[in-house]
Amino acid sequence: MAWMWTCLKVIAFAIFSLTVKMNDVWHPISELPVGCAHDALPGNHSGIKVLIIGLAKCGTRTICHALNEVGVRAYHSEDFHFLPWWDFVHDVRKEGGPHAQLPAALLAQEMLQDQALAGRLMQKISKCRMGAVALDGLEILTEPIIKHSPGAKVIVLNWRTFPEWKKSLEKFIPKLVVMCLHNLFTGASLGLLPWLALLRPLDRLLSSPVEGVLREGGPPITEVSGPLMWMYHQSLNHRRQYECWAEPTTTVYPESEDDFKSFYADTMKHFSKDDIFEWDPRKNTMTELCKFLGIEPCPKTGKVPRAINTWIFERDFPIAAQAVIVLRFFLYWVNWKLFAALLSALMRCFRKSKSE
Ligand SMILES: *[C@@H]1O[C@H](CO)[C@@H](O)[C@H](O)[C@H]1NC(C)=O
């Protein structure tokens, strides 16, 4: 029976830790200043030169890696959530105006009508100087971004049929849920007590591997993530990213073949034929990518290697990930010891006051 009691206590402690983390109790002291540091471009131009239009599971990650390899700073949606998107949401919420209470997804929807709001997001985007972006999970921002990126080209990932895509997505969603829960639960030890607040002085001590990237806007965290950046990014995911996926969502999820086709067609009609590349990751090559973008000489040749799609941050940055996971469990142990000590001190006080 004793083991069951211990088990229950451990579960209760993990849930308690998660609750504290999700309420962002320590964020005011652990979050680094938000926002990339470049000057915004004039006229609310996003500065984006290549848009990647593809639903999740259509190879957005693969093409982002390829673009970075040929020298275009391509943001995958995680990078976008983590930097300009959060800079924007944070700003709107801080100033407390009419949009401050909106969930992130409704704020995104609002941008379809509200030009001033869209303009503000574009300023945040251009401050990060990203050359390309894949908006899977943020499809709702496609229109406003196209509107503010005149002269951009588009890579369209419409190579999968609707049934193929649907099957792939349905297989992926349960995995995604497990990955998110894993990140939330293991990461909760860093949210129960203000451990993350130690990151900033440590970062300064190590000549700013985190703050430097946050200001510069690169390299994208999906391309390069050292242990400190890994820890910081994963600790903020629930705020900056997961909120967008929850209902009401920023995601477009076509329910039928027609919806699926019109998602792509509606985007493509904003571009001239020469500015569209219907990319098929099974066939197209680096050389073709360079040619489309006018990059000469092309630094890479051959087929584009397929990107990892599950446990990406763990598998793309294994050393950073292992180091942080070990730290997370270690801090669970530390938190547990501290709370046990606190509890027994309280009990002693209570007994003493009763016996007096
Ligand atoms: C750019 O965005 C700002 C801030 O929202 C807005 O006030 C301004 O009118 C926009 N400028 C242009 C040229 O669209």
Q: What is the per-residue pLDDT across 131-177, written as a single tens digit (0 to 9) for each?
A: 999 999 999 999 999 999 999 999 999 999 999 999 999 999 999 99
Distance CA 101, CA 99 (A): 6
Nearest atom of ligand 1 to the alpha carbon of 117: 5
Write the pLDDT tens digit of every residue in 231-286. 999 999 999 999 999 889 999 999 999 999 999 999 999 999 999 999 999 999 99
Residue 271 lies in a domain: yes
Predicted pLDDT of residue 1: 81
6 within some domain: no
What is residue 319's predicted lDDT score, i.e. its pLDDT?
97
Count of domains forming the chain: 1
Query: Residue 4 falls within a domain, yes or no?
Result: no
Has residue 355 got a pLDDT over 90? no
- 3-class DSSP assignment, residue 264: helix
Nearest CA to ligand 1 atom 6: 116
Q: Model confidence at 7, in pLDDT bands (50, 70, 90)?
A: very high
Average per-residue pLDDT in the chain? 95
| Coil, helix or strand at residue 132 | strand
CB of 148 shorter than 6 A to ligand 1: no
Q: Is 44 in the pocket of ligand 1 (CB under 6 A)?
A: yes
* pLDDT classification of 356: cutoffs 50, 70, 90: confident
Given a cut of 80, is residue 184 above it in pLDDT?
yes
User: Has residue 122 been placed in a domain?
Assistant: yes
Please name the residue ranges forming H helices in the chain. 2-22, 27-30, 60-69, 77-80, 86-95, 104-110, 115-126, 142-147, 162-187, 189-192, 199-205, 211-216, 227-237, 243-245, 257-268, 286-293, 312-316, 318-355
Task: Report the atom number in ligand 1 closest to the C-alpha of 119.
Answer: 2
For a ligand 1 pocket test, name from 39, 44, 45, 127 the mutation site with the most ligand atoms within 8 angstroms of its C-beta: 44
Looking at the domain assignment, is residue 157 inside a domain? yes
Distance 262 CA to ligand 1 centre (A): 30
Q: Considering the domain boundaries, does residue 142 fall inside one?
A: yes
Residue 352: which pLDDT band, with cuts at 50, 70 and 90? Answer: confident
Atom of ligand 1 at shortest distance to CA of 115? 5
- Model confidence over 329-345: pLDDT tens digits? 999 999 999 999 998 99
pTM for the model? 0.94
Dihedral angle over CA of 256, 64, 209, 321, nearest 10: 60
Rounded-to-integer distance, Cα 292 and Cα 67, Å: 12
Considering the domain boundaries, does residue 1 fall inside one? no
Residue range 189-221, pLDDT digits in tens = 999 999 999 999 999 999 999 999 999 999 999
pLDDT of residue 217: 98
Find out whether the beta carbon of 126 lies less than 6 Å from any atom of ligand 1.
no
Pocket lining: 120 vs ligand 1, CB cutoff 6 Å: yes
The verdict on the CB of residue 2 being under 6 Å from ligand 1 is: no
Q: For ligand 1, atom 7, name the residue with the nearest CA.
A: 116
**Ligand 1 pocket test target in 87, 113, 115 with most atoms within 8 Å of CB:** 115
Averaged pLDDT, 24-42: 96
Containing structural domain, residue 119: 11-355
pLDDT in tens, 103-125: 999 999 999 999 999 999 999 99
Question: Residue 2: inside a domain, yes or no?
Answer: no
What is the reported pLDDT for 152?
97
